[in-house]
Amino acid sequence: MFSRLKIFSGKANEDLARTVARFAGIPLGDIDLFKFSNNESFVKINENVRGSDTFIIQPTCHPVNDNLMELLIIIDALKRASAKRINCVIPYYGYARTDKKDQPRVPITAKLVADLITVAGADRVITVDLHAEQIQGFFNIPVDHLFTTPLFARYFKSNLDNENLVVVSPDSGGANRARTLATRLKCGFAIGDKRRTGNNDKAEILNIVGDVKGKTAILFDDIIDTGGSLVKISYALKDFGAERIFAACVHGVLSGSAIEKIENSPIETLFITDSVFLNEEKRNCSKITIISIAELLAIAIKKIHIDESISILFR
């Protein structure tokens, strides 16, 4: 049944790819990835893929441009090697935060990247917790959009006291995501009233809408980048009487001084997935706990390969 299923990995997150392959019971495909002295990427597929259903695991995380270009080159190599179907597993979709033209003379890079992946020859995209769900519509090929909310909900049900929980969205944009987690945990829900005055961590928390006094708050968001906004709202939660503060973010980009900010914040633990590769410094941070998405991806890959519904993954 799975004899024509092949899983390949780019360099973006080889640890995740190996774990996915182990859960799927499929060895990683033999592929050479390297750069020439002029920094151009090169790919060579070292095994027969003619007529195969191929999956490329490659989040477009830091270094974003290198990993995106490598993904496009792998797609092209598989297409020219006569793979039957090319599925791109992109747990973290880079450039997703520029998904609309909200200023004069700016690009919509989320759409541009979708076009690049499609034109390169991809037949399907599997991704996890897109920053904006409408990005699915930027593709003219099928997109399977997976969610980690069930993973986080199961973890919190097993490891936190659910009697006094409140899930907090850092801003109104992520309200639906946080509300879904709160519904699964059968607990309270609150929203941070945030006004952004610049890029990344230049944001002011004006208010907390909802009851957090005396409660254990879980800040829930899709991406933690510099950590500025999340840390600021954690201090606001303290000011509004929250007793304990945790944070859960799907994609741990953790750029700049994010680790230092988290270490010095009221946040007791930051729960993140392994959608983005974490170096030793980030893995060794005393406040970071990793919840793996490898099994979720492995199940999705096998079900897609045999043309079965993946709706079970949303329950």
124 & 163 share domain: no
180 & 277 share domain: yes
Q: Is the pLDDT higher at 102 or at 300?
A: 300
301 & 196 share domain: no
108 & 168 share domain: no
Residue holding tokens 């049944």? Answer: 1
216 & 197 share domain: yes
Tell me the H-state helices in 3-104: 14-24, 64-80
Give the pTM: 0.93
51 & 116 share domain: yes
- The total domain count for the chain is 2
Residue 62 near residue 94, CB atoms below 8 Å: no
Residue 194 confidence (pLDDT): 66
We report the CATH number of the domain holding residue 22 as: 3.40.50.2020
Q: 204: pLDDT confidence band, cut at 50, 70 and 90? A: low
153 & 119 share domain: no
Interval 87-112: pLDDT, tens: 999 999 999 999 999 899 999 999 99
Does residue 37 carry a pLDDT above 70? Answer: yes
- Positions annotated as catalytic residues are 194
Residue 1 confidence (pLDDT): 72
**Averaged pLDDT for residues 55-80:** 98
Amino acid at 18: R
What is the full DSSP assignment across 86-118?
EEEEESS-TTTT--S--STT---HHHHHHHHHH
83 & 180 share domain: no
**Averaged pLDDT for residues 67-76:** 98
199 & 177 share domain: yes
Q: Is the pLDDT higher at 123 or at 200?
A: 123
193 & 268 share domain: yes
Residue 137 confidence (pLDDT): 95
Return the exposure string of 226-238: e unless at least 16 CB atoms fall within 10 Å of the residue's CB, then b. Answer: bbbbbbbbbebbb
Which two structure tokens, joined as six digits, stand for 137?
């519509």
* Mean of pLDDT over the chain: 94
Give the dihedral sign, CA 221/57/1/140.
positive
Does residue 199 carry a pLDDT above 60? Answer: no
**Averaged pLDDT for residues 38-63:** 97
Residue 204: domain span: 149-291
Give the dihedral sign, CA 237/239/243/244.
positive
Mapping DSSP to helix (H, G, I), strand (E, B) and coil, where does residue 189 land? strand
40 & 98 share domain: yes
Residue 195 confidence (pLDDT): 66
Residue 205 confidence (pLDDT): 58
**Averaged pLDDT for residues 264-290:** 95
270 & 305 share domain: no
